[in-house]
Amino acid sequence: MQIIIQHSLDENIARQISSNFQVFSTHIRHQIALINLDDLRQQYQTDFNHLPKVDTSNIKLFVCDMDSTLINIECIDEIADFANIKPQVTAITKLAMQGKLDFDDSLIKRVALLKGLSVDVLDKVYTQRLSVNPGGRALILFFKTKSIQMAVVSGGFTYFANRLAQDLALDYARANVLAVENNQLTGVTEGLMINAEAKADFIKELCDKQGLSYSQVIVAGDGANDLNMMRIAGLSVAYHAKPSVTKHANIVINFGGLNKIIDLFNP
């Protein structure tokens, strides 16, 4: 027998799956024989996951990818829209997130296309197009009640990651630095490139700083450049992610918001 989390309170669905289930405040848990979760997810268009083997009461750090995970957009694509080159940049972004294009090369190519654009565009993207994904604020409040520290990490840019961390009162942020000259983007980044390896290194750095083991870390991401950090964390969540990512994650959220992560903790 195994415990399956149904990330909804629909008891009609629950009764179709098993007779042995318990209703909690935000979800339902089934005690059930072996079952194919992918089939359940598609049949009921609802998120289902195995109850994690990790002791979630021991989680001390949450690290979240930014673009299309914590927030609703790919920031670089929206910046490109102001330069009327969004289709070109978006095409490169999709290939990179699917793991079909080297991330470093793709970032260099995309940032180069932004050369000459006013930095004022960054504020417009943040204020006019960026929002926290559904359930994100509730998840952050939950983690605060559990004294779990939080970090945002991104292959995107510090302008957005740092500002978001400040607005949401997150503890840490790391992303790429866009080079600026005469109030214009120069078409390059400065310093260390935040790619898949750098994201994983960020987790290692934070664990060393706080004296944590990797088993005390939960991460959430959606793209190929999140896989390295997902592999080392105690618990990994694929959030509305590419198929190449979901197959490597402990938890898959395809239909609900980020608050569904709360269901993994003791009710």
Q: What is the mean pLDDT of residues 255-262?
A: 98
The amino acid occupying position 186 is T
pTM for the full predicted model: 0.95
Q: How far apart are CA 188 and CA 193, in angstroms?
A: 11
For residue 128, pLDDT over 90 is answered with: yes
Share of the chain above pLDDT 70, in %: 100
Active-site residue list: 65, 67
- CA nearest to 221, candidates 72, 63, 65: 65
Q: What is the mean pLDDT of residues 192-205?
A: 97
Query: What pLDDT was estimated at residue 245?
Result: 95
Q: How far apart are CA 239 and CA 78, in angstroms?
A: 21
CATH code, residues 57-73+130-264: 3.40.50.1000
Report domain extents, the chain. Answer: 2-51, 57-73+130-264
Q: Worst-scoring range by mean pLDDT, 17-21, 90-94, 106-110, 112-116?
A: 90-94
